[in-house]
């Protein structure tokens, strides 16, 4: 497991945000402002924007994990000191929105490794991922209404997709956090483990994904992400299109051949 700050990249990479490549196919992006509870400033936003694009463009990367270097918090959301200093416009990017992350187009699977509270913008970062592994002391919530603010980084529309409607509306309207046990019970969280095991459990989930044919995973997730937005007829049409892409790929030939030959498949991602 090695750290790879790439050349000619935003200054925040390797400082406020760390990048690692694990097992050749898993990218781990770690928020690293422990003294600021991983609050998002301009450097974090620019670094995340760059790294998400790097992950999505790298054919070797099959899965990504968004983690925290601090066991006490995932992310406190926006750095209010930056906002009060008039630099609030720097906390997002043109392509990625808040933190350079929440609106960034993502094709590959993303896992949030949540240690400690994920509130406000921190919750919105987790909701912008596909899966969540959380510590047993974590909490999730959108407290913006308590401060006369608005969860504009995807929280208000993503939470009702991830939770039963009435429960999501309760969290949004009250601003009260949900403990991880309740979040897990409603399906917001995939796994709950002790704080010091979150990273390992997230990597185990990532490895279970990375062993599969990357094209099959990407096309399947692309369709699954649209399940609540499109009609059944539109979903069937897109399913046929995705099926043609996958079933005519090199990997679709490699999978059955490897099974017959009793060996592990060698995926090409095409």
CB atoms within 10 A of CB 247: 11
- Tell me which of 124, 170, 219, 234 is the catalytic residue: 124
237 assigned to active site: no
Q: What are phi and psi of 30, to 5 degrees?
A: -120, 125
- Tell me which of 16, 90, 144, 219 is the catalytic residue: 144
Please tell me the distance from the alpha carbon of residue 252 to that of residue 265, in angstroms, as a whole number. 10
| Contact partners, residue 159, CB within 8 Å, separation at least 6 | 123, 127, 142, 168, 171, 172
124 assigned to active site: yes
Exposed/middle/buried for residue 222 (C-beta within 10 Å: 0-12, 13-18, 19+): middle
Note the helical H segments in 152-191. Answer: 155-162, 165-174, 180-185
The per-residue DSSP string of 94-108 comes to TTTEETTTTTS---S
Please tell me the distance from the alpha carbon of residue 61 to that of residue 116, in angstroms, as a whole number. 27
CB atoms within 10 A of CB 26: 23
The DSSP output letter for 196 is G
Q: Which residues are catalytic?
A: 124, 144
């Amino acid at each position: 497991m090695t750290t790879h700050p790439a050349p000619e990249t935003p200054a925040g990479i390797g400082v406020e945000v760390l990048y690692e490549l694990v097992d050749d196919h898993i990218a781990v992006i770690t928020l690293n402002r422990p003294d600021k509870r991983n609050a998002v400033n301009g450097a974090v936003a620019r670094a995340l924007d760059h790294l998400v694009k790097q992950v999505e463009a790298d054919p070797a990367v099959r899965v990504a994990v968004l983690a925290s270097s601090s066991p006490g918090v995932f992310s406190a959301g926006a750095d209010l000191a930056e906002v009060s200093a008039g630099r609030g416009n720097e906390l997002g990017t043109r392509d990625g929105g808040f933190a350079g992350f929440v609106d960034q187009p993502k094709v590959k699977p993303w896992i949030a490794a949540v240690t400690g509270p994920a509130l406000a913008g921190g919750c919105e970062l987790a909701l912008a991922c596909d899966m969540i592994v959380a510590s047993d002391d974590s909490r999730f919530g959108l407290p913006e209404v308590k401060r006369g603010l608005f969860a504009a980084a995807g929280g208000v529309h993503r939470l009702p997709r991830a939770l039963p409607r009435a429960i999501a509306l309760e969290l949004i309207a009250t601003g009260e956090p949900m403990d991880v046990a309740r979040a897990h019970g409603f399906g917001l969280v995939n796994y709950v483990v002790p704080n010091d095991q979150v990273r390992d459990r997230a990597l185990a989930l990532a490895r279970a994904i990375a062993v599969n044919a990357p094209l099959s995973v990407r096309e399947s997730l692309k369709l699954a992400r649209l399940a609540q937005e499109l009609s059944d007829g539109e979903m069937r049409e897109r399913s046929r299109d995705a099926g043609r892409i996958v079933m005519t790929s090199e990997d679709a030939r490699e999978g059955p051949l490897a099974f017959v030959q009793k060996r592990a498949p060698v995926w090409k991602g095409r």
